[in-house]
């Protein structure tokens, strides 16, 4: 997969290093077959595959949050806080697609692992979102994310509300992001859009926003 635009080469090298290490460990574990007493509810190899994905994601998220604490020569943040969240979401999705589409997406008997990606739009399936966004690695990212300074002075992002909850539907996430951008252009700050109806969102996007 490609390096995100503006992502430092040395930081990307650390992500790739974790990927190489994770692939090696995963292949070794897969070659051994199921361990004694392996849980049969969800195949053990699926747990191992998800763990591999999350370990690489954790390194990427750490590097991204490091960028979020750095300022450019003009005093602006190297990576704005909105981009950090979006890049982490996208990395988790794209890296899962990348790994699942490779030889890693098979079990020790050569069978394809259960589907993880939707055929419509290439989004993570809901069951995978629940696992990934409920993991320790994602919670660690949220904790680091909450400590990042924002582009509005030294205010800190909040873990809770919009920063912690994540819409299950990717189309809703995209709509929310567009609406936040429109509102921010008028000097407003969106606190909690999740749970709003689609009709409310569409009406806000199709009508001029009031001046704050």
Tens digits of per-residue pLDDT, 187-212?
A: 433 333 334 444 433 444 444 444 44
Closest by CA to 65, choosing from 73, 55, 57, 74, is: 57
Cβ(22)–Cβ(102) under 8 Å? Answer: no
Q: What are the structural domain ranges in the chain?
A: 9-165, 167-212
Give the chain's mean pLDDT.
77
Contacts of 8 (CB under 8 A, 6+ apart): 63, 67
Rounded distance between C-alpha atoms, residue 26 and residue 45, angstroms? 9
As given in the structure block, the two tokens for residue 38 are 């392996």
3-class DSSP state of 192: coil
Q: Where are the beta strands (DSSP E) in 37-169?
A: none
Band of residue 123 on the pLDDT scale cut at 50, 70, 90:
very high
Cβ(76)–Cβ(57) under 8 Å? Answer: no
Cβ(159)–Cβ(146) under 8 Å? Answer: yes
As given in the structure block, the two tokens for residue 94 are 């794209």
Q: Tens of pLDDT along 48-78?
A: 999 999 999 999 999 999 998 988 888 788 8
As given in the structure block, the two tokens for residue 5 are 């635009």
Band of residue 99 on the pLDDT scale cut at 50, 70, 90:
very high
Rounded distance between C-alpha atoms, residue 125 and residue 44, angstroms? 19
The partner residues of 71 in beta bridges, in order of sequence, read 77
Rounded distance between C-alpha atoms, residue 186 and residue 210, angstroms? 8
């Amino acid at each position: 997969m490609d390096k995100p635009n503006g992502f430092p080469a040395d930081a990307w090298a650390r992500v790739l290093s974790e990927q190489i290490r994770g692939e090696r460990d995963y292949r070794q574990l897969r070659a051994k077959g199921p361990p004694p007493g392996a849980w049969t509810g969800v195949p053990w190899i699926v747990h191992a595959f998800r763990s591999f994905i999350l370990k690489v994601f954790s390194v990427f998220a750490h590097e991204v949050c490091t960028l979020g604490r750095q300022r450019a020569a003009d005093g602006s943040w190297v990576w704005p806080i909105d981009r950090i969240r979006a890049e982490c979401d996208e990395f988790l999705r794209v890296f899962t697609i990348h790994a699942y589409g490779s030889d890693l997406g098979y079990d020790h008997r050569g069978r394809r692992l259960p589907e993880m990606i939707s055929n419509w739009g290439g989004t993570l399936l809901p069951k995978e979102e629940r696992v990934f966004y409920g993991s320790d690695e994602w919670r660690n990212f949220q904790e680091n994310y909450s400590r990042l300074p924002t582009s509005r002075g030294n205010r800190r992002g909040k873990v809770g509300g919009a920063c912690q909850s994540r819409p299950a539907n990717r189309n809703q996430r995209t709509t929310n992001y567009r609406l936040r951008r429109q509102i921010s252009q008028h000097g407003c700050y969106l606190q909690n859009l999740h749970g709003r109806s689609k009709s409310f969102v569409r009406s806000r996007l199709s009508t001029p926003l009031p001046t704050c």
